Chains A and B, each alone.
Chain A
Amino acid sequence: MDALVRLDDVRKSFGATRAVDGVCASVPVGRVTGLVGADGAGKTTLLRLMAGLLAPDGGTVSASDALGYMPQRFGLYEDLTVAENLSLYADLRGLAPAEQGDTFARLLSFSGLAGFETRLAGKLSGGMKQKLGLACALVATPRLLLLDEPSVGVDPVSRRELWRMVHELADQGVAVVWSTAYLDEAERCHSVLLLDQGRLIYDGPPKDLTQRMRGRSFAVRGIMDRRVVQAAARRHVGVADALIQGAAVRLVLAEGAAVPAAAELGAPQAVVEPVAPRFEDAFIALLDRHGGPVPALPEIVHHPRPRGGAVVEARDLVRRFGDFTAVDHVGFDVAPGEIFGLLGPNGAGKSTTFRMLCGLMEPSSGVARVAGIDLASAAPEAKQRLGYMSQKFSLYPDLSVRQNLDFFAGVYGLSGARRKAVCGAMLDVFALGPMADTNAGQLPLGFKQRLALAAAILHGPDILFLDEPTSGVDPLVRREFWGHINTLAGDGVAVLVTTHFLDEAEYCDRIGIVYRGRLIAVGSPEEIKASARNPEQPDPTLEDAFIALVEACDREERS
């Protein structure tokens, strides 16, 4: 088969870091090749080498000239309209004006942006921006398309659209390279290049790697407390990975280990049954990076909270922007110790609901109460009780890790010895000690996320608001993160989380799906999945269920 990219023993270092370390691979025509790896594995560097934006230190890179490259932040001009962005890139690519009309019409309908030509790029949702970026990268009809993490911050519906577009392109004979840290996406590729610390550790169809895991993936069903079982499984020697998945806990066994008995997992009545392996199981087993035991959170954070009642209450929340109703009579409760997930496509009103509940926005009508306190009447008292972490990991980049912690401790009214003790404990728990004097802006993404979490919980909040907390971070960091969240939920902390990542939604006790400003479904992941069960889809995934619900809502709207 024709290869559009050939890599032969390619090396690239930045200072002492070997970003790409002796990679040999090729990218065939008419295929979607996944470039998969954890954060900092070398994906972006390899893509930039392929695109000719970086010169290798050693080895050879040969790639087709007819290439389109879409970096993580595609250079869209936010103050230009969709059509103006397209024609700008067409001019830059030297597309003849006579051809532009047809090309634009084709790309607009292909990307589903027809009808949005006059909208400013800055006003598009995350998913639409990515589609426009893709359309701009396609103006010169490339034979090789390099996409750097195109699905970060994109909702499931738009993500599915992007995949459809990319597969269509591959069918037309384009060679596509799609880099991602989301492992469910790896399964959608014809073939994957798996990177770890700059080295290529697997090259081939994703199924082949998954098949190696046959007989090692199990589900523990019929359990009372998922988190107790998960924690017990994590401690078990024979278990390489334990994840909550809806009502069950999914286990990946270490190589050659015996299946643990239900009693060993702290749930004697449970059933341990084999399930089909998936790519993520193989990835985790292949990387197999288990640190020592994680130190416990300090007492100010880790202590039992009173149960009962609701600590987050949304009552008939409405928010209007001019004529547009972004949130339309949304109401739900979150109990202590409950993890509640808010899901929805971009622009559906999910973020607006979230922001009203943590006091970042005033509702047009309705009541938002946190810890029994109305945010409208006594915001500071309520805010003392909540912790907030945003997807941007809002830290002060020029302050050191320690100074960031000190600052947030101070703002939450911790002082003197208490502040010192808490900040010290946070440095230990999140393994930030060695980087205490590094500027937060220079931390790798995974560490930024840890620091952001530490800053959000160091005052011991009873309610935790997480806004797309694992956006862009890899599965290893994500596991560690949810480990801490589960500990807190076990203490009785209520957690409200928004996410685009439907695997993550499985960790929630209950989820609410927001669409067109309304809450169209609330329930446990199992209940949501059950609602989408039909003869065509006997065992729908959460993503299937999500898309079915959204489409049903659209149909209703039309009729």
Chain B
Amino acid sequence: MWGRVWALIVKELLSVWRDKKSRFVLIVPPLIQLAVFSYAATYDVTDVTVALFNQDQGLASRELVARIQGAPTFARLQVVDDEAALAAAIDRRDAMMGLRIPQDFSRRLESGQGATVQVILDGRRSNSAQIAAGYLTTIVISHNAAIAAQASQPVGPTLVTRVWFNPNLESLWVVVPGLVGVLTQVVALVVTGLSVARERELGTFEQLLVTPLRPWEILVGKTAPGMLIGLVEGSIIIAASQIWFHVPLTGSVALLYGALAVFLLCTIGVGLFISALASTQQQAIMGAFFFMVPTMILSGFATPVQNMPDWMQTLTLVNPVRHILVVLWGVFLKDMPAALVWHSVWPMAVLAAVTLTGAAWLFRRRMY
């Protein structure tokens, strides 16, 4: 019996590997995605251009400008001479933010009165602009502190921020572990989703059905290769995270793989479900995307789950990607203990049980 299943697994791996196109699909797009996501999809804001309308010629304003110029985030200062030019620079997207320093800025500061500067943000780029504004605020606060120190005035309470787990707030540290989950999902879903549909198109599925293979043997024979390929894909990204991206892996590798395996079971169950329904590969691909896009968006990979409306947060509980991301970030960055990993693994185990039984049920029904 295991001989039969083994023959099926070997066949499955061989046909994925020997077909040039499917081999290409397994290797190249994930690597490209890894590169693109890691380097392009960063949450850091750099290279910001600030349009500066400085109406003040005083020392304090020059000092502030120099501080902004010195900050790595702000690549360029574009000096403008009037209000209209400031507006135009933002309209044309030459600058992400505008800074207006009023005429009396230095004078008021010297006379010990408070002064204000005006910041104008490009709301079309709300996320980046807010982050840039945050940087600017930090600069202004430190500028204030310096002035206070010069004037030997007592300084008010200051905020000292220390970021745990990712001290330099490196986006890569968040993105790369996330990709372990996201990309293995894509690969496992495509491999299993296409496999039965492909055999249906070739007519080999019928040939399988007239052999002594039992439905569950076929199911196992289709699950194992997806699992294997998914784990290999995951390992490649984990290896890249260590060798290339130098993301710390603080937790237990065994826990990581255990959780990944449960996650893959969920995904493969969905893949087989799609496969059982689809009669052509085209339908299978559409089905896979229909599943993939919402699970990606509702996973917390791009936008935090905590920012979603309550009902949608509840909905994300049935999204396996959401759970695996918690484990991945946890194990990579903060040495998540087994008990906490289990907290995210058991929902995936339930989901896996549901999707696999569903697939098995549909498989039997759609067998003929």
Contacts and interface: CB of A to CB of B under 8 A. Distances in A.
**Contact-residue size bin, chain B (C-beta under 8 Å from the other chain):** 20 to 34
A22 interface: no
B212 A390 contact: no
Interface stretch (B9-17, B122-130, B143-151, B294-302): B9-17
Nearest to B213: A411
13 contacts: A360-B209, A383-B212, A384-B212, A386-B210, A388-B210, A394-B202, A394-B206, A395-B202, A399-B15, A407-B10, A410-B10, A412-B4, A413-B3
B203 to A, nearest CB: 4
Interface string B195-230: 000000011101111111110000000000000000
Contacts of A412: 4, 211-212
Given A359-B209, A394-B207, A413-B4, 6 more contacts: A361-B368, A394-B203, A394-B204, A411-B4, A411-B208, A413-B212
B278 to A, nearest CB: 15
Contacts of B18: 398-400, 439
B6 interface: yes
A396 B210 contact: no
Interface in A407-435: 407-413, 415
A396 B7 CA distance: 13
A403 B212 contact: no
Interface of B: prevailing SS = helix
A411 B14 contact: no
Contacts of B202: 392, 394-397
Given A395-B204, A396-B204, A415 B3 contact: yes
Nearest to A410: B7
Contacts of A381: 212
Interface of B: 3-4, 6-8, 10-11, 14-15, 18-19, 202-204, 206-214, 368
A406 B7 contact: yes
A465 B368 contact: no
B210 A407 contact: no
Nearest to B1: A413
Nearest to B210: A388
A408 to B, nearest CB: 8
A418 to B, nearest CB: 11
Given A359-B210, A383-B210, A390-B206, A396 B15 contact: yes
Interface residues of A, number: 34
Interface string A353-386: 0010011111000000000000000001101101
B194 to A, nearest CB: 13
A413 B207 CA distance: 15
A147 to B, nearest CB: 25
Nearest to B21: A398
A337 B309 CA distance: 72
A388 B207 contact: yes
Contact of A380 (B6, B204, B212): B212
A407 B7 contact: yes
A59 B112 CA distance: 100
Nearest to A409: B7
Across the A-B interface, give the 5 residue pairs with the lowest CB-CB distance, nearest first.
Answer: A410-B7, A392-B203, A394-B207, A388-B210, A394-B203
A370 to B, nearest CB: 10
B211 A383 contact: yes
A406 B210 CA distance: 17
Nearest to A361: B368
A399 B14 contact: yes
Contact of B15 (A383, A398, A413): A398
Nearest to A393: B203
A452 B23 CA distance: 26
A369 B204 CA distance: 23
A359 B204 CA distance: 15
A388 B14 CA distance: 23
Contacts of A380: 212-214
A360 B202 CA distance: 16
A410 B204 contact: no
A410 B15 CA distance: 16
